[in-house]
């Protein structure tokens, strides 16, 4: 476990975020391999099916993951305050919540998946494939929730190395299962979903075993686990805004996917590929923001406000430099990257139009996310929630519909940087106001508790 309340801020954030970045890179790799295998061996219709399924999956899991993030913030703050008893109780509470939530999500997903796919205008030629992919993914959601919960627990306590190992394990297994099921056995798009579920199941079991065997202070015993209502309510206070934020973002993604689907399978496939590339390109900024959130939580828990602010400045600088390099790479090598996924010239053309527009504003995204990470670490999650909702529903979705009616699918792409610029502006001015300090969960007197 890593104490982030001492040492050089710049170095601490870089060192702590790098394993997370590398781990999420491997996590994204298996999403990329999914798309590459599907695009080259199952066709653009299957690729469109996977792309249409993702917003639906994300909608049902986003709320739960968002609430769970509140528990991670509390773990980081109590760990910074050296109150290990509270850390122990929060771990039990998160895992129990995730178990109940996963069963609920599975039931809702299997019950409503067909209706949701119709709602978002999934083309007839890809509908059945999308339905199979969705149902298999929902059936295995318990492993995804458990896997993400154990990783978040370790990160909240300052351990970003072991989650890296578990992410690499899941990624390698997912790639191996993809290739085996599709190339060797000749199965269809459903096997790609099953490969992901199977890989996450193995990673969850291994990560839980590690937590039990090597972190004896926080050992998980099913018979002795206790749900702490007080801590859960605290985590809900922090996590609910993030949960609502993620849910409304996911619903917005569904609305945009419905719009994309009206342009046909070619645009849907291009949107899927460009979105995968986009997720890799913005990953450094998102991981640095997550690291900053934990860094901020520990330092505010220890009463070190100035150090938390210096961490924010360091993160904005690092993320900005990386964003400029990634933008240059996408502009120079974007076509070659698109060709990794498909040989369809029309899909490549549409995907490049997306990338050229959106990549020009990666530095805006990285700065916005840095401020969001700081505010979440402080427990001030309401402002990022309202900012995201306004950016998406007042700007991005309406602009996408209006512009796409005039200039085609390019109008959808231009709506993205407009929303980012708005989000950055609101987060920046709220940070400058200093009101976020009232949201810190661990008060000064609790920082003296050592167990």
In the numeric block, the tokens 């850390």 are attached to 87
Q: Residue 126, Cβ neighbours under 10 Å: how many?
A: 27
User: In this predicted model, what pLDDT tens digit does every residue of 400-422 receive, in sequence order?
Assistant: 999 998 888 889 999 999 999 99
Work out the pLDDT band at 6, boundaries 50, 70, 90.
low
Spell out the residues 6+ positions from residue 156 whose beta carbon is closer than 8 angstroms to its own: 71, 72, 73, 74, 75, 76, 79, 294, 297
Percent of the chain with pLDDT over 90: 14
pLDDT at 202 over 90: yes
pLDDT at 413: 92
Instruction: Give the whole-angstrom CA distance, residue 13 versus residue 9.
Output: 6
pLDDT at 451 over 50: no
User: CA gyration radius for the chain?
Assistant: 21
85-104 pLDDT, tens per residue? 787 888 888 888 888 888 88
Residues of 278-312 as b/e, b for ≥16 C-beta within 10 angstroms? bebbbbbbbbbbbbbbbbbbbbbbbbbeebbebbb
Say yes or no to pLDDT of 23 above 90. Answer: no
* Digit-coded pLDDT (tens) for 282-336: 888 888 888 888 888 778 777 778 888 888 988 999 999 999 999 999 999 889 9
- Asked if pLDDT for residue 447 goes beyond 50, the answer is no
CA triplet 344, 349, 350: central angle to 5 degrees? 105
Q: How far is CA 142 from CA 35, 95, 168, in A?
A: 23, 11, 20
> What integer is the mean pLDDT of 98-124?
85
- The structure tokens listed for 78 are 């109590």
Most confident region among 20-29, 62-71, 79-88, 97-106 by mean pLDDT: 97-106
Lowest mean pLDDT among 77-81, 123-127, 277-281, 349-353: 77-81
Give yes or no for a contact between 137 and 113, defined as CB atoms under 8 angstroms apart. no
CA 190 – CA 182 distance, rounded (Å) = 10
Q: What is the mean pLDDT of residues 158-175?
A: 82
Residue 367 pLDDT: 94
Report d(CA 224, CA 75) in Å as an integer: 19
Chain mean pLDDT for the chain? 82
Q: What is the pLDDT of residue 445?
A: 42
CA distance 374 to 380: 9
Encode burial over 162-187: b for 16+ CB neighbours within 10 A, e otherwise. Answer: bbbbbbbbbbebbbebbeebbeeeee
- Write down the pLDDT at residue 448: 39
pLDDT at 201: 92
267: tokens are: 């645009």
- pLDDT reported for residue 217: 63
> What percent of the chain clears pLDDT 70, i.e. is strictly above it?
91
Residue 441 has pLDDT above 60, yes or no: no
Q: What is residue 444's predicted lDDT score, i.e. its pLDDT? A: 45
- State mean pLDDT over 372-379: 85
C-alpha angle with apex 200: 198 to 203, nearest 5 degrees? 115
C-alpha span between 165 and 17 (Å, rounded): 14
pLDDT of residue 317: 93
Nearest 5°: CA angle at 66, between 61 and 69?
130
Single pTM value for the model? 0.67
> What are the C-alpha distances in Å from 86 to residues 91, 154, 317, 384?
9, 15, 34, 26
86 with 446: CB under 8 angstroms?
Answer: no
| pLDDT higher at 84 or 365 | 365
Highest mean pLDDT among 24-28, 168-172, 301-305, 424-428: 424-428
Q: In the prediction, which pLDDT does 371 show?
A: 92
């Amino acid at each position: 476990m890593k104490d982030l309340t001492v040492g050089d801020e710049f170095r601490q954030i870089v060192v702590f975020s790098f394993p997370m970045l590398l781990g999420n890179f491997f996590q994204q790799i298996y999403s990329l391999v999914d798309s590459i295998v599907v695009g080259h061996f199952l066709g653009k219709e299957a690729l469109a099916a996977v792309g249409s399924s993702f917003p639906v999956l994300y909608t049902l899991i986003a709320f739960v993951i968002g609430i769970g993030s509140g528990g991670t913030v509390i773990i980081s703050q109590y760990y910074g305050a050296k109150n290990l008893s509270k850390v122990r109780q929060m771990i039990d509470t998160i895992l129990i919540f995730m178990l109940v939530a996963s069963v609920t999500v599975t039931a809702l997903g299997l019950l409503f998946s067909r209706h949701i796919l119709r709602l978002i205008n999934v083309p007839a030629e890809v509908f059945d494939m999308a339905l199979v992919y969705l149902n298999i993914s929902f059936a295995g959601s318990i492993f995804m929730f458990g896997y993400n919960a154990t990783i978040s627990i370790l990160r909240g306590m300052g351990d970003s190395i072991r989650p890296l190992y578990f992410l690499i394990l899941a990624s390698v297994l997912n790639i191996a299962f993809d290739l085996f099921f599709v190339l060797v056995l000749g199965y269809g798009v459903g096997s790609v979903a099953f490969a992901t579920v199977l890989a996450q199941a193995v990673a969850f079991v291994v990560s839980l075993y590690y937590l039990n065997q090597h972190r004896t202070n926080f050992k998980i015993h099913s018979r002795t686990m206790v749900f702490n209502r007080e801590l859960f309510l605290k985590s809900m206070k922090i996590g609910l805004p993030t949960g609502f934020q993620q849910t409304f973002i996911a619903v917005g993604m569904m609305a945009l996917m419905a719009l994309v689907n009206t342009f046909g399978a070619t645009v849907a496939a291009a949107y899927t590929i460009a979105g995968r590339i986009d997720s890799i390109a913005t990953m450094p900024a998102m991981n640095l923001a997550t690291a900053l959130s934990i860094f901020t939580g520990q330092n505010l828990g220890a009463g070190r406000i100035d150090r938390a602010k210096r961490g924010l400045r360091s993160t904005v600088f690092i993320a900005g430099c990386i964003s400029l390099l990634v933008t240059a790479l996408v502009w120079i090598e974007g076509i070659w990257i698109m060709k990794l996924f498909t040989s369809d010239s029309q899909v490549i053309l549409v995907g490049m139009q997306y990338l050229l527009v959106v990549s020009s504003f990666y530095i805006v995204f990285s700065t916005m996310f840095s401020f969001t990470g700081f505010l979440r670490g402080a427990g001030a999650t309401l402002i990022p929630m309202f900012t995201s909702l306004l950016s998406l529903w007042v700007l991005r979705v309406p602009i996408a519909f209006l512009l796409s009616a005039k200039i085609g699918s390019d109008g959808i792409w231009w709506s993205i940087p407009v929303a980012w610029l708005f989000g950055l502006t609101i987060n920046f001015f709220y940070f400058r106001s200093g009101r976020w300090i009232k949201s810190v969960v661990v008060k000064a007197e609790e920082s003296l508790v050592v167990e």
